[in-house]
Amino acid sequence: MTLHEFVQQCINGLSLGSTYALLALGLAMLFSIMGLINFAHGELLTIGGYVMWTLLHHDVSWALVVPATLLATTLAAVAMERIAFRPLRGASIETLLVTSFALAFFIQTVLQIGVSAEPEPIAHTGWSDRGYSVGPYTIGLIQIITTAVTFAVLVALVVFLRRTLLGVSIRAAAEDFAVVRLMGIPAGRVVVAAFALSGLLAGIASLLFFASAGSVSPTSGTAPVVAAFIAVVLGGLGNLAGAVVGGYVLGFADQILAAVHSSTILQFHDAVVLAILIGLLLLRPQGLVGRSRGLA
Amino acid sequence: MPVRNDLGARTGPRVLLEVRGLTARYGPVVAVRDVDLRVGEGEIVALLGANGAGKTTTLMSIVGLHRARTGTIELDGHEIGHLPPERVVRRGVGLAPEGRRIFAGLTVAENLRLGAAGAGRARDDGRRERLLELFPALRERLRLPAASLSGGEQQQLAIARALMSGPRLLLLDEPTLGLAPKLVRLVFDLIARLRDEEGVTILLVEQNVHQALRSCDRAYLMRVGGIEAEGTPEELRRDRRVQAAYLGVPE
Contact residues on chain A for B172, CB-CB shorter than 8 A: none
Q: B129, B203, B141: which is closest to B167 by C-alpha?
A: B203
Contact residues on chain B for A186, CB-CB shorter than 8 A: 84, 86
Q: For residue A210, is pLDDT > 50?
A: yes
Q: Which helix (H) or strand (E) holds B247?
A: none
> Does A181 contact B84 at a Cβ distance shorter than 8 Å?
yes
Confidence of residue B54 (pLDDT cuts 50, 70, 90): very high
Confidence of residue B7 (pLDDT cuts 50, 70, 90): very low
pLDDT of residue B249: 63
> Does B114 contact A182 at a Cβ distance shorter than 8 Å?
no
Q: For every residue of chain A, which 3-state class applies, written as one string?
A: CCHHHHHHHHHHHHHHHHHHHHHHHHHHHHHHHHCCCCCCHHHHHHHHHHHHHHHHHCCCCHHHHHHHHHHHHHHHHHHHHHHHHHHHCCCCHHHHHHHHHHHHHHHHHHHHHHCCCCCEECCCCCCCCCEEEECCEEEEHHHHHHHHHHHHHHHHHHHHHHHCHHHHHHHHHHHCHHHHHHCCCCHHHHHHHHHHHHHHHHHHHHHHHHHHHCEECCCCCHHHHHHHHHHHHHHCCCCHHHHHHHHHHHHHHHHHHHHCCCHHHHHCHHHHHHHHHHHHHHHCCCCCCCCCCCCC
What are the distances in angstroms from CA A83 to CA A26, A28, A225? 19, 21, 21
pLDDT of residue B2: 39
> Does A180 contact B115 at a Cβ distance shorter than 8 Å?
no
Residue B146: DSSP 8-state: G
B132: helix, coil or strand? helix
pLDDT of residue B8: 45
Range A280-284 average pLDDT: 80
Q: Per residue in A4-40, pLDDT tens?
A: 888 888 888 888 899 899 999 999 989 888 888 899 9
Range B221-247 average pLDDT: 88
Range A118-141 average pLDDT: 81
Q: A265, A244, A239, A251: which is closest to A201 by C-alpha?
A: A244
> Does B118 contact A172 at a Cβ distance shorter than 8 Å?
no
pLDDT of residue A15: 85
Sheet arrangement for strand B218-223: B93-96, B169-173, B201-206, B44-48, B218-223, B226-231
Q: For residue A180, is pLDDT > 80?
A: yes
pLDDT of residue B143: 94
Confidence of residue B182 (pLDDT cuts 50, 70, 90): confident
pLDDT of residue B87: 93
Contact residues on chain B for A169, CB-CB shorter than 8 A: 114, 117
Q: Per residue in A40-73, pLDDT tens?
A: 999 999 999 999 999 998 989 989 999 999 999 9
Higher local confidence (pLDDT), A13 or B123 = A13
Q: B112, B78, B109: which is closest to B94 by C-alpha?
A: B112
> Does B117 contact A181 at a Cβ distance shorter than 8 Å?
no
Q: For residue B3, is pLDDT > 70?
A: no
Residue type, B28: P
Percent share of chain A, pLDDT over 70: 94
Distance, CA of B29 to CA of A13 (rounded, Å) = 56
> Does A169 contact B63 at a Cβ distance shorter than 8 Å?
no
Range B92-98 average pLDDT: 93
Q: Which chain A residue has the Cα nearest residue B93?
A: A182
Confidence of residue B124 (pLDDT cuts 50, 70, 90): low
Domain parsing of chain B, residue ranges:
7-246
B234: helix, coil or strand? helix
Considering Cα of B180, then B182, then B188, then B193, what sign does the dihedral take?
Answer: negative
Range B45-50 average pLDDT: 92
Residue B80: DSSP 8-state: -
| Structural contact between residues B73 and B80, judged by C-beta atoms closer than 8 angstroms | yes
Contact residues on chain A for B162, CB-CB shorter than 8 A: 182
Average pLDDT of chain B to the nearest whole number: 88
**C-alpha R_g of chain B:** 18
Q: Which chain A residue has the Cα nearest residue B97?
A: A179
pLDDT of residue A211: 85
Number of alpha carbons in the 13 Å side-chain half-sphere of residue B43: 22
ipTM above 0.95, yes or no: no
pLDDT of residue B251: 47
**Which CATH number is correct for B7-246, 3.30.460.80, 3.40.50.300, 2.60.40.10, 2.30.30.170?**
3.40.50.300
| Window from A4-18, A118-132, A219-233 with minimum mean pLDDT | A118-132
- Which candidate from B65, B85, B110 shows the least CB-CB separation from A168? B110
**C-alpha R_g of chain A:** 19
Cα A255 to chain centroid distance, Å, stands at 17
Give the β-pairing of B218-223 and B69-75. unpaired
Q: For residue A233, is pLDDT > 80?
A: yes
pLDDT of residue B83: 93
Q: Supply φ then ψ for residue A163, to 5 degrees.
A: -100, -30
Distance, CA of B187 to CA of B134 (rounded, Å) = 11
The CA-CA-CA angle for residues B90, B93, B81, to 5°, reads: 85
| Structural contact between residues A243 and A174, judged by C-beta atoms closer than 8 angstroms | no
Distance, CA of B138 to CA of B149 (rounded, Å) = 9
pLDDT of residue B4: 42
Range B197-210 average pLDDT: 90
Range B15-28 average pLDDT: 94
